[in-house]
Structure 1
Amino acid sequence: MDILLAFGTPGADLAVASGDLLTDDGLLTAVVVSLFTDRQAEATDELPAGETDRKGWWADATLPKLTGAPDKIGSRLWLLRREKQLPEVVARAREYATEALQWLLTEHRVDGLTVTATVPERGMLQLQVALEVDGATQLSAFDYSYLTGAYRLSV
């Protein structure tokens, strides 16, 4: 069970009813946290102009090591904030999103994972995430603003 995220404009917030946090037995919350939490930049990553913070979550260093290396929560999509919308940048966005969701395969939460990245309008990246679970595909799409880092569930 995950805490349920309620989607609004922009982004999401914790869902509460009668003073209690609501839960979600699906994968949507896991996908949102994985994609839209700022993962720590790799040593070889070029930071956006004017930034020195490599970001990341403080607990990454304390999480169990599933693959022999420390876990890293989130994605590196934040690194694209000041990038031009070139095909190679869209390809990197897809790579970063796939990397962020890889743990779902590693931990056998899903049987398959496909990420598609497109640019439906200027300044907007659309990520379509298809997760295969028990032979069925769950599909989610997110609109992500390169400029602000804001996202919303696409309809």
Structure 2
Amino acid sequence: MTTLTVDEREALIQRAVTISLLTWRRAEPSDKLDDDSREGWWGDSFPPVDNDRIGSRLWLLRRRSLTAQTLLDAQAYATEALQWIVDDKWANSVSVVATKTDLNSMRLVARFDESSSSPLRFTFDNIWQVINAV
């Protein structure tokens, strides 16, 4: 196995984070939907590992107001989507913070702690616009 440089590893994790957050995961049976679409990536229908799924459920927030509860739900959905990075031992832990930056804007910051280097931090300033573009 080839050893990655710090920059290569950070770029790899950044791509994984972007795919994990911006690919829409299929809604859970218990999720409230505002239409008949459960979204989701077709490849999750045949996962090589049972219950292995790609993406986030952030899209479920698309028709909600940007409230304190919406921010908490965004943090929970993003953490769920990124947990595989910890489970697969790419990082020791992940934490996500969602903040309202103005009337119609949400910032999402994901931080990964690794034992071999300083924490990695990825910021998505336009996440609310991405969620609502669906």
Is the structural similarity TM-score above 0.5? yes
**1:1-150 alignment, distance < 5 Å:** 25-26=9-10, 27-47=13-33, 49=34, 51-65=35-49, 69-133=50-114, 134-143=116-125, 144=127, 145=129, 146-149=131-134
After TM superposition, the structure 1 stretch with the greater mean CA deviation from structure 2, 130-139 or 102-111, is 130-139
Q: Which runs of 5+ in 2 are unaligned?
A: 1-7
Deviation for aligned residue 1:74: 0.3
Worse-matched range after superposition: 93-102 or 132-141: 132-141
Query: After TM superposition, what 4+ stretches of structure 1 lie above 6 angstroms from structure 2?
Result: none
**Conserved? CA contact 1:38–1:57, under 8 Å:** yes
- Describe the superposition over 1:33-87 as per-residue Cα deviations: whole angstroms up to 9, x where unpaired: 000100000001111x3x211011111132222xxx4111000000000101111
Q: Which amino acid aligns with 1:31?
A: V
Residue aligned with 2:113, SS: strand
Q: CA deviation at 1:147?
A: 2.5
Q: CA RMSD in A?
A: 1.4
1:61–1:71 Cα contact (<8 Å) kept = no
CA contact 1:123–1:147 (8 Å) conserved in 2: no
* Distance apart, 1:135 and its partner CA: 4.1
Amino acid at match of 1:116: V
What one-letter code is carried by the residue in structure 1 that aligns with 2:42? Answer: W
In structure 2, the residue corresponding to 1:136 is in which secondary structure? Answer: coil
2-structure distance, mates of 1:127, 1:33: 14
| Structure 1: unaligned runs, 5 residues or longer | 1-23, 150-155
Q: Which amino acid aligns with 1:29?
A: R
| TM-score of the pair, normalised by structure 1 | 0.73
